[in-house]
A and B are shown apart, each in its own frame.
Chain A
Amino acid sequence: MNDNRVEKPWLIVATREILVKVTDRAFIVGTLVSVALIVGMLGLQIFLSNRTSTTKAVVTTSEARTFADQVGTVAHQRDDKKSVEVTQLPDAAAARAAVTAGDADVYLAKTEQGWQLTFKDSVSGDLKQIVQEQSVQDALQANATRLGTTVAELQRGTTVTTQILEGSEQQAGLAQAVGFIFAILFFMSALGFGLQIAQSVVEEKQSRIVEILASAIPLRQLLAGKVVGNTVMALAQMILYTGVGLIGLAFTDYKNLVPALSASVAWYIAFFLAGFLALACIWAVAGSLASRQEDLQATTMPLTMILTLVYVAGFTASGMVQTILSYVPVVSAVLMPVRLVEGSASWWQALVALLLNIAFAALTVYLGERIYRRSLLQTQGRIGYKQALQLTD
């Protein structure tokens, strides 16, 4: 019978699931801490990349001064946060004293073999390399002039350049980082909200409030409300995290990556939705198979194993394995967006993977609903998955 006054039961259930969650202090704190972590990591990145360092060098001759200035110029060219400040002192003893006292970082002096760098207690590798290169460059220049040729002529055929056929070097590194982040986020969120579904099912079952609910509304509606409510929350949280991440990234040196990443994140969100839905009803089944919270560890085992697999695959899969897994439902939620960042998959391949995922989700929702309905009102202890499949109404 249809009564227009009556609200849709699944909507009432979903609203309750969401309200309970957003008023739960642990959930709010957890979400805020995660956002703070994301902001903190990005902030650290900005801080580190903006930090300037000045090396104080002392010299005793004007020749050394010129050389030190050249080294400073090169260092600044390589990293605009670095510079070298040169001071000329009367003699070697004064220069050594300045280094020992910590007033200077290095004493630069010309010897018969070339240049000598005197540090207080540790050698700065960066500086040593620049000085070495610079002295080679100077010597080359002098030798070339003497032989009547140029440095470029002498160096012909020694240049090493690198090239990546698919995508760019920056993309490859980025894809790896994004893979880690997507894998971690997927694992955390799918596990957290999945467990939440299972716990809320077993809470109702354990307290027998499910019998009141079942006599009031069809169990299908109860399940739908639970799944919808938790999916909305999981999705909102994921959008929050990735949104904060992207906005934060726009303030770092990687801001040029934001457009490419945004597209990938949008795909990831779509995949996350499909992947989460594919498991949501199974989480509900895991809850309905348990009769007490303590049983959950056993009944949710298959799900935690699947999620761990997705997690590990996100970190380790490469080559052919990665390509194949990027079409496998649930795992594809992490791997396909990574391939998109790498540039090794195109939009239609992503679409195929997404459709496969949605088809799989439809199957698990169908099966999950049947098992949930039948095992929910069973009260005689924990039920196995195999046993549950054989239950009848």
Chain B
Amino acid sequence: MLELDGLTRRFGDFVAVDDVSFTVPEGHMIGFVGGNGAGKTTTMRMAMGLLAPTAGEVRWAGREMTRTDRRRTGYMPEERGLYPKQGVLDQLVYLARLKGQPENEARLQATGLLERFALADRGKDKLEKLSLGNQQRVQIAAAVMGQPQLLILDEPFSGLDPVAVEAMADLLREHTAQGIPVLFSSHQLDLIDRLCDGLVILNRGRVVANGSRDELRSTGRALQQVRLDHDAGWLRGTPGVYVADVDGTSAVIELLDDGARRLIVEEAMRRGNLLELKEIRPSLSEIYREVTA
């Protein structure tokens, strides 16, 4: 389990990351969300030991994370690029060897990854000779070289073509299935919605939301969609009901106390028919907009 505890980073008077704490449990995929300048990259750089925290601590398996732990962490920096003038296979092996993987093992893993991305015959080519999409696939392979025990990826999906997005998603899921914690940042909320077990929303350097999708959804106001076969205007006078919007026979309301639901059902049946009364589940982007507003 990766634990970030009270991480803070100041650049002069500017507080880029302010008391950020969250965990990435074994086998969990956590999405890291926030606008530009929210502090995601700074947080990840601190987690990787590339930037010293002004305060706080990064822990792995319950103790302070060491260089050896980080050596076994797959990391993808925000602005990516490998060596353009080196052979694809060679640089994958090089990166893995620096992470401490023996050469023959690294070669085996790299060959396997290239086969998986249908790049087996391009292993000897220089990276710059590959199309942009294929270069991205090599980049993905680079992140998981050296049998990492933790993945920290800064915007791994940005700029990927749809096929590469799926390849990346599959690869990440395989890692979490093996119990490896994965933390990645992204602007693509739909992807996070689809892939992640939990998400952390950062705004101006602070964590403004942290939890599973359902947990986050339940923290916002629970609105109800009401559909009747008659005019919905009467809802406005009902006690315990806040009416957000009325449009002819339908309305969006908030139930302020437990008895209100029963009251509405009874009154609606008296006046005609109640066609629908259901909770509106806010999308992640709605939650995001709400917490970062």
Contacts and interface: CB of A to CB of B under 8 A. Distances in A.
Given A1-B68, A7-B97, A215 B75 contact: yes
Given A212-B77, A216-B95, A216-B99, A393 B52 contact: yes
Interface string B176-201: 00000000000000000000000000
A215 B65 CA distance: 12
A215 B49 contact: yes
Contacts of B78: 208
A211 interface: yes
Interface in A1-16: 1, 3, 5-7, 9, 12-13, 16
A214 B50 contact: yes
A209 B98 contact: no
Nearest to B142: A212
A203 interface: yes
Contacts of A16: 86, 94
A218 interface: yes
Interface in A192-251: 203, 206-209, 211-218
Nearest to B75: A215
A377 interface: yes
B102 interface: yes
A11 to B, nearest CB: 10
By size class, the interface of chain B is: 20 to 34
A20 B97 CA distance: 16
B14 interface: no
A69 B81 CA distance: 80
A293 B75 CA distance: 24
B230 interface: no
Q: How would you classify the secondary structure of chain A's contact residues: helix, strand, loop or mixed?
A: helix
B40 to A, nearest CB: 14
B135 to A, nearest CB: 11
A209 B83 contact: yes
Contacts of B84: 207
B86 A208 contact: no
B95 A215 contact: no
Nearest to B146: A216
A208 B75 CA distance: 11
Contact of A211 (B52, B75, B97, B146): B75
A374 to B, nearest CB: 11
B261 interface: no
B95 A212 contact: yes
Contact of A12 (B67, B75, B94): B94
Interface in B87-128: 90, 94-95, 97-100, 102
A1 B84 CA distance: 33
A393 B67 CA distance: 15
Contact of A215 (B71, B83, B85, B90): B71
A206 B75 CA distance: 17
Given A20-B85, A207-B80, A215 B68 contact: no
A217 B50 contact: no
Q: Which has the most chain B C-beta neighbours within 10 Å: A203, A211, A393?
A: A211
A96 to B, nearest CB: 72
A6 B94 contact: no
A208 B94 CA distance: 16
B59 interface: no
B142 A215 contact: no
Given A6-B100, A12-B98, A203-B83, A211 B68 contact: no
Given A16-B94, A216-B99, A209 B71 contact: no
Contact of B98 (A9, A24, A206, A211): A9
Nearest to A218: B67
Contacts of B97: 7, 12
Contacts of B85: 20, 24
Nearest to A222: B98
Given A6-B100, A207-B81, A216 B71 contact: yes
What 7 A-B pairs are tightest by C-beta distance, nearest first?
A: A207-B81, A208-B77, A211-B77, A216-B98, A6-B100, A215-B48, A208-B79
Interface of A: 1, 3, 5-7, 9, 12-13, 16, 19-20, 24, 203, 206-209, 211-218, 377, 393
Interface of B: 45, 48-52, 66-68, 70-71, 73, 75-86, 90, 94-95, 97-100, 102, 142, 146
9 contacts: A5-B102, A16-B86, A208-B78, A208-B80, A211-B77, A212-B95, A216-B70, A216-B100, A216-B146
Given A203-B83, A211-B77, A216-B95, 6 more contacts: A1-B66, A16-B86, A207-B83, A208-B77, A213-B98, A216-B99
